[in-house]
Amino acid sequence: MKKKIAVTAALMSLSIATSAAQAEELTLCWAAWDPANALVELSKDFEAKSGHNMNFEFVPWPNFADRMLNELNSGGKLCDLMIGDSQWIGGSAENGHYVKLNDFFAAEGISMDDFIPATVTGYSEWPKGTPNYWALPAFGDVVGWTYRKDWFARPELKAEYKEKYGRDLGVPATLAELKDIAEFFQGRKIDGNKVYGAAIYTERGSEGITMGVTNALYNYGFEYTNPNKAYDIEGYVNSKGAIEGLEFYKELYDVGTPPGSSNWYMGETIDAYKSGQVAMQMNFAFIWPGVNADPNVGGDKSGYFANPAGPAGQFAQLGGQGISVVAYSKKQDAALEYIKWFAQPEVQSKWWKLGGYSALKAVVEDPGFAASQPYAQTFLDSMAIVKDFWAEPSYAELLLAMQARIHNYVIAGSGTAKEALDGLVKDWNEVFEEEGKI
């Protein structure tokens, strides 16, 4: 009897040890922002079901790209899972930083047809337009607008605006109308406080002004390349329409933004809006849950609208990220378990409820989705009109050139819009020549 008990105890001990050996400590790397906090909460379900423990490495946005791209380029083993920016996908695929997921998706029955098409193209594919997948769409995001619905509804302001512009004060249908509204509120006194028209992206150091100005450039006719000849950018990047779009963005900055806003990105625009300084705020959609819950500007005080149309159409800058398995991880099987779990419709539904932006069609096409939050319909409208920046392996060089050229013109007032875009064509051609692409 004692011998049987001893054998049973030994088998139990072996079972526990085997189970412990299978459990992994996974580290997921992402930016430090509100959605990351929601992901920590969401991931508790994965820990409970899988037995793996999740660790998180979150880096503030201004340092995120430098920190994480250095990690990838050095073959670092900090991150098992990476929620990397959409622009990283080309370099990460070609340089072997990410695990290609096609075979895994096929084995697990995960179909990219189940996700919003723009997010598959933006976050997962390389080369673009081919069924080669390096990430699962993780966080759908796009530049849109928040506005002080309560200010727009004030009878005295509505009457004054109608008299001046001949139309009602409301959500702008065009970028020209948006500039009029910004100028209308600029320097106005509301409840005894001086306010301004709009908080927009102007930051130079990382990607801010590029993520802002493209919302004007696209809608005036800017194209990254000749659609019939890759990397043929002359006359597309610096087209007549693109020049007019850049001039528009400078005019908006000059006539409708707060003083001292020459280097603003996501955080500064959020702060300006929540503190009651501006009538409108340009920002990625990720901020909307926080705005809606804010005690000062939340609830019925705020409204949301998609980036308005310009003379050449209606588009908006894509944000958001896909989740990838890092090729240097020693725990790839466990990391793939996380992606399989994360792709489940019930998990994606909970992700949306916690403040994450699901890209799964089963969530966003649910009949109740549009009414689930005040900003849900605007998110859908915005994701339907997205364009994205280059996802080339050389995207960092391309981005730095654009940041400098645009900031020098819009903020510093150096030269003309044509000179800025002609210079950008020169910069980008030099990059593509060095890569042997032209």
pLDDT tens per residue across span 145-184: 999 999 999 999 999 999 999 999 999 999 999 999 999 9
pLDDT value at residue 72: 97
User: Mean pLDDT throughout 202-213?
Assistant: 97
- Mean of per-residue pLDDT scores for the chain: 95
Q: pLDDT tens-digit profile of 305-326?
A: 999 999 999 999 999 999 999 9
Cis ω for the linkage preceding 127 (within 30 of 0): yes
Q: Is residue 342 in some structural domain?
A: yes
Domain count, the chain: 2
Within-domain flag for 381? yes
Residue 7 pLDDT class (50, 70, 90 cuts): very low
Query: What digits encode the pLDDT tens for the residues 325-347?
Result: 999 999 999 999 999 999 999 99
Indicate the pLDDT class of residue 10, thresholds 50, 70 and 90: very low
pLDDT digits (tens, 9 = 90+) for 107-122: 999 999 999 999 999 9
Q: Do the Cβ atoms of 355 and 34 come closer than 8 Å?
A: yes
CA dihedral 176, 182, 183, 187 (to 10 degrees): 180
Inform me whether the pLDDT recorded for 15 exceeds 50: no
* Domain co-membership, 121 together with 189: no
Q: Is residue 3 part of a domain?
A: no
Query: Rounded to whole angstroms, how far apart are CA atoms 372 and 350?
Result: 12
Is the residue at 19 inside a domain? no
For the segment 346-369, what is each residue's pLDDT rounded down to a tens digit? Answer: 999 999 999 999 999 999 999 999
- Of the residues 351, 366, 387, the one at which a domain ends: 387
275 and 395, same domain (yes or no): yes
Q: How far apart are CA 156 and CA 104, in angstroms?
A: 60
| 386 pLDDT higher than 90 | yes
For 218, residues 6+ apart whose C-beta sits below 8 A from its C-beta are 245, 310, 312, 313, 315, 316, 317, 387
Q: How far is CA 173 from the centre of its chain?
A: 23
Identity of residue 359: A
pLDDT at residue 20 greater than cutoff 90? no
Domain carrying residue 373: 25-141+320-387
Q: Predicted confidence band at 302 (pLDDT cuts at 50, 70, 90)? A: very high
Shared domain for 98 and 168, answered yes or no, is no
pLDDT value for 62:
86
**Mean pLDDT computed over 36-58:** 98
Which pLDDT belongs to residue 21?
A: 42
Residue 13 has pLDDT above 70, yes or no: no
Judge contact between 35 and 286, C-beta under 8 A: yes
Q: Are 336 and 410 contained in the same domain?
A: no
In-domain check, residue 96: yes
Query: Do 179 and 276 fall within a single domain?
Result: yes
The two structure tokens encoding residue 317: 């800058």
Same domain, 211 and 102: no
**Per-residue pLDDT for 5 more than 50?**
no
Instruction: Let me know if residue 5 belongs to a domain.
Output: no
Dump pLDDT digits (tens) for 94-106.
Answer: 999 999 999 999 9
Of all residues in the chain, the percent with pLDDT exceeding 90 is 95
pLDDT at 22: 80
Q: Are 137 and 147 contained in the same domain? A: no
Looking up residue 419, the CATH number of its domain turns out to be 3.40.190.10
State the Cα–Cα distance between residues 65 and 70, nearest whole angstrom: 8
Does residue 148 sit in the same domain as residue 288? Answer: yes
Q: 401 with 271, same domain?
A: yes
**How far apart are alpha carbons 266 and 272 in whole angstroms?**
10
Average pLDDT score over residue span 27-32: 98
Per-residue pLDDT tens over the stretch 264-288: 999 999 999 999 999 999 999 999 9
- Residue 13 domain flag: no
pLDDT value at position 70? 96
Q: Say what the pTM is.
A: 0.93
Residue 19 has a pLDDT of 38
Which residues are paired to 142 by β-bridges? 318
| pLDDT of 12 above 80 | no
Mark whether 376 and 400 lie in a shared domain: no
> pLDDT confidence of 75, banded at 50, 70, 90?
very high
* Dist. CA 283–CA 280, nearest whole Å: 10
Same domain, 381 and 281: no
DSSP letters along 66-111, please? HHHHHHHHTT--S-SEEEEEGGGHHHHHHTT-B---HHHHHHHT--
Choose the final residue of a domain: 348, 367, 387. 387
Check whether residue 127 and residue 61 sit in a common domain: yes
* 3-class DSSP assignment, residue 277: coil
Instruction: Give the separation between CA 38 and CA 33, rounded to whole angstroms.
Output: 9
The answer as to whether 10 is a domain residue is no
Q: Is it the case that residue 234 has pLDDT exceeding 90?
A: yes
What's the rounded Cα separation, in Å, for the pair 292 and 340? 31
For the cut 60, the answer to whether the pLDDT of residue 202 exceeds it is yes
